């Protein structure tokens, strides 16, 4: 008997995209599935659209606005599936995405997590270009996190399928976090597994350019969350393995936060730099264009960054 896959969709003011997202779920070639949509206090037609689609395997839950992590936790508690597919309300799955990844579990059992390829698009999936990343390989938990922290790429929530037993070991989403909460959650998921199995043919599509997206939020609270997520990822990894390679990876992810945020959030910058020093320091330089690199050679990267911030705002890397 084929196992049940629970597809969990937190939705907040997603009316322009939710219908297309649900269509990508309903047309999955993996037929044994349930779909749980949690409306997070939307003020547009999101709830109406969610309820409009009549299907015995769709459940719609309403909550006051508490954030995506809280919505995912409610969906997790309601889920009956043996496997969990997370999906943001504006992203899309290729029709055979779930079926392709479920073959991994048929071969390997439920001790690993499955990841898949993803690409960005703005209006149609024909714009998507799948560009190989170092993370797109089978790896042990520590290898995967070291690679990710050292700039080997990222993995969006839709790219994963997680066995329920691993999700239970990892624990719930951290509802105190907003920006980059998925990075912290999936760090725990990966560490709760025996490793990551990558499926090149399991495709999903990450919608970019959404002005209301949390990833476009740069409030003080969002910046603090981005730092706290990195700090927690460091703790999670070092608790598993405290070694030169993991310390270097942890120093790198904190240093990249400093490079991204400076000169804003000076207290967080000081905290990060203090931790980087305790981890042994880091020598890699911040990335930037020709002008930034030229200025860095003359006046140093911090002065060059301050000049740059005068003409463009902070953006998450």
pLDDT score recorded for residue 296: 83
CB proximity list for 225: less than 8 A, separation 6 or greater: 176, 177, 178, 179, 180, 181
CB 281, CB 273: distance < 8 Å: no
Q: Torsion angle of alpha carbons 276, 278, 284, 285, nearest 10°?
A: 50
Q: Within its chain, how far is the Cα of 167 from the centroid?
A: 15
Distance, in Å, from the CA atom of 187 to the CA atom of 193, rounded to the nearest integer, reads 10
Could you read off the pLDDT tens digit of each residue along the chain, which spans 317 residues?
899 999 999 999 999 999 999 999 999 999 999 999 999 999 999 999 999 987 889 999 999 999 999 999 999 999 999 999 999 999 999 999 999 999 999 988 899 999 999 999 999 999 999 999 999 999 999 999 999 999 999 999 999 999 999 999 999 999 999 999 999 999 999 999 999 999 999 999 999 986 554 444 578 899 999 999 999 999 999 999 999 999 999 999 999 999 999 999 999 999 999 999 999 998 777 888 888 878 888 888 888 888 877 765 555 44
Domains of the chain, CATH where assigned: 5-210 (3.90.550.10), 216-287 (no CATH)
State pTM to two decimals: 0.92
pLDDT score recorded for residue 309: 73
CB 230, CB 150: distance < 8 Å: no
pLDDT score recorded for residue 34: 98
* Nearest in space to 316 (alpha carbons), one of 193, 189, 230: 230
Task: Give the DSSP H/E element, type plus range, for residue 259.
Answer: helix 244-261
pLDDT score recorded for residue 214: 43
pLDDT score recorded for residue 304: 82
pLDDT score recorded for residue 82: 97
pLDDT score recorded for residue 282: 84
Which residues make beta-bridge pairs with 154? none
Torsion 283-249-207-45 (CA) sign: negative
* Nearest in space to 250 (alpha carbons), one of 168, 314, 187, 172: 187
Task: Give the DSSP H/E element, type plus range, for residue 222.
Answer: helix 220-240
């Amino acid at each position: 008997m084929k196992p049940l896959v629970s597809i969990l969709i937190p939705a907040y003011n997603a009316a322009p995209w939710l219908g297309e997202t649900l269509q990508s779920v309903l047309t999955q070639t993996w037929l044994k599935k349930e779909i749980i949509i949690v409306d997070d206090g939307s003020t547009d037609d999101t709830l109406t659209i969610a309820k409009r689609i009549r299907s015995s395997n769709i459940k719609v839950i309403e909550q006051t606005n508490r954030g995506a992590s809280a919505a995912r936790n409610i969906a997790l508690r309601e889920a009956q599936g043996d496997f969990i597919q997370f999906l943001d309300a504006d992203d899309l799955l290729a029709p055979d995405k779930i079926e392709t990844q479920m073959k991994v579990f048929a071969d390997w059992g439920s001790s690993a997590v499955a990841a898949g390829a993803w690409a960005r698009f703005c209006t149609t999936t024909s714009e998507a270009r799948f560009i190989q990343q170092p993370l797109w390989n089978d790896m042990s938990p520590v290898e995967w996190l070291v690679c990710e922290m050292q700039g080997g790429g990222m993995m969006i929530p839709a790219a994963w399928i997680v066995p329920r037993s691993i999700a239970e070991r990892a624990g719930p989403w951290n509802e105190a976090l907003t920006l980059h909460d998925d990075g912290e959650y999936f760090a725990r998921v990966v560490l709760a597994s025996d490793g990551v199995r990558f499926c090149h043919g399991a495709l999903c599509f990450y919608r970019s350019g959404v002005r209301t997206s949390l990833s476009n939020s740069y409030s003080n609270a969002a910046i603090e969350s981005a730092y706290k997520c990195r700090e927690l990822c460091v703790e999670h990894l070092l608790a598993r393995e405290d070694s030169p390679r993991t310390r270097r990876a942890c120093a790198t992810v904190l240093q990249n936060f400093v490079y991204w945020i400076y000169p804003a959030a000076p207290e967080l910058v000081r905290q990060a730099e203090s931790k980087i020093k305790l981890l042994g320091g880091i020598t890699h330089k911040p990335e930037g264009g020709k002008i930034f690199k030229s200025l860095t050679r003359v006046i140093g990267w911090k002065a060059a960054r301050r000049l740059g911030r005068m003409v463009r705002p902070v953006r998450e890397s």
